[in-house]
Amino acid sequence: MTATLGAVAEALADAPRREWAFVLAATVRVAGDLDVAEECAQEAYVDALQVWARSGVPDRPGAWLTTAARCRAVDRLRRETTLQRKLPLLVEPVEAPSEPGEEPDDDTEAVPDDRLRLVFTCCHPALEPAARIALTLRLVCGVATPDVARAFLVPEPTMAARITRAKKKIAQARIPYRTPAAAELPERLDSVLSTVHLLFSAGHTAPTGEVLVRDDLCERALDLARTLVRLLPGEREVYGLLGLLLLMHARRATRLDARGRLVLLEHQDRHRWDERMILEGLRHTVLGLQGRPGRFALQAAIAGAHATAPAFDLTDWPRIVHLYDLLLAVEPSPVVELNRAAAVAFADGPAPALAVVERLADDPRLRAYPYVHAVRADLLRRLDRPVEAAQSYRAALDLTANGAERDFLQRRLDELAH
């Protein structure tokens, strides 16, 4: 049975998002090399365009693509083995490498799953944080290098070089393609969760550009978090992270008005929040809070307190301040302190919150952080100190590169001027 090119193209357009991680991860097991596996996976998609047009789209496209990619990897390995036998003096390595595609000992691994092996390989602590996210987007999510470059707002050659360096680091450092053993899992898992959270944050509020929200990045982060929940059902922080992302993303439709202008939480129409997503996020948050909660579960609990408040002025601010106190105990950072100060402003008034923010404004770690100036400006505005508030709004404006946020800060300045 033949299929129209349109049907094949549609199936292949949908397959990368859903199946790419499966295909690539399974191919790495055979190839033993990320570059080779990626090339074989891409060639499998090209093969599918030709074969499916003749015989129709298979019932299980992912399985077809995986088989095709693995067969190409096996063919490459056979050709390389033949070449090594015929030209030993030219290709003999200094050290004998492990056999390509050699299976790791699954008995020593916490979760023997190809997709998770790929995630943990991309998010290894030996790689720079930016490289982890870029490599995860490229290999796990199947995002094309030009799109990854746009997400990071760098030229495509720069991003291509960054991804290449990360792959080389994996090879040179002999980072194994496997999930860590149970004893290594806590350290490595935190790196993975942090990477997924950073990916979502980059989509929730784009660092630069005119668009406030990058839904594509948010959705990919949610897909990764859901995958981790399925693969690591015993890890509470994984539930906490997914709960946090769901509760944050549930408000996406109300963060901009009809004119594309930023809307603060206190003015958002809560009836338009995604109730189904909120309920799902709360369920995962409860699971994450069992036992001794970690930083993502506590952040999810804070987001849940906002999500369940019937109105902004009915928010349980003392409870949120208490949750921030618990969060500071597990994640002491000036950013968490700043967020806590913003909650204190509604629980106890702007004056005590301003005292905290004034101290944080002198912290060198927040020197280029626009939100410390924006929070200070808002507190000064509420305390009827317009001249100082305007100075802080200008300082925040100078450090802000997102168009929607810049527009909001400028409107605040204009209001003070009048």
What pLDDT sits at residue 89? 43
pLDDT tens, position by position, 364-406: 888 888 999 999 999 999 999 999 999 999 999 999 988 999 9
Q: Residues of the chain with pLDDT > 70: what percent?
A: 85
Output the pLDDT for position 82: 64
The arithmetic mean of pLDDT across residues 344-366, rounded, is 94
Domains and CATH numbers, the chain: 5-93 (1.10.1740), 113-177+185-232 (no CATH), 246-251+270-332 (no CATH), 334-418 (1.25.40.10)
pLDDT at 371: 94
Q: How confident is the model at residue 71 (pLDDT cuts 50, 70, 90)?
A: confident
pLDDT at residue 99, as a whole number: 37
pTM: 0.76
Is the model's pLDDT at 109 over the cut of 80? Answer: no
What does the pLDDT average to over 344-364?
A: 94
> Which residues, in sequence order, are CB contacts of 203 under 8 Å at separation 6+?
213, 214, 215, 216, 217, 218, 219, 220, 221
Confidence band for 111, pLDDT divided at 50, 70 and 90:
very low
Section 266-293 average pLDDT: 96
Q: What angle, 0 to 180 degrees and rounded to 10, lies between the N-to-C axes of helices 295-308 and 317-330?
A: 170
Confidence of residue 414 (pLDDT cuts 50, 70, 90): very high
Q: How are beta strands 208-209 and 401-402 bridged, if at all?
A: parallel
Residues 56-87 as b or e (16 or more Cβ within 10 Å = b)? ebeeebbebbbebbbebbbebbeeeeeeeeee
Average pLDDT over residues 317-332: 96
Compute the average pLDDT of residues 144-160.
79
What pLDDT score was predicted for residue 336?
96
The mean pLDDT of the chain is 83
Mean pLDDT score, 264-292:
96
In this prediction, residue 15 carries a pLDDT of: 54
pLDDT band of residue 13 (cuts 50, 70, 90) is: low
How does residue 7 score in pLDDT terms, banded at 50, 70 and 90? low
The predicted pLDDT at position 394 comes to 96
Band (pLDDT 50/70/90 cuts) for residue 152 is confident
Q: Which of 195-209, 212-226, 285-299 has the highest mean pLDDT?
A: 285-299
Range 325-339 average pLDDT: 95
| Percent of the chain surpassing pLDDT 90 | 41
Look at 77-86, 96-105, 294-303, 347-356 and tell me which has the smallest mean pLDDT: 96-105
What mean pLDDT do residues 282-301 have? 96
Mean pLDDT within 59-74: 82
Mean pLDDT of 119-140: 82
**Confidence (pLDDT) at 149:** 79
pLDDT for 102: 41
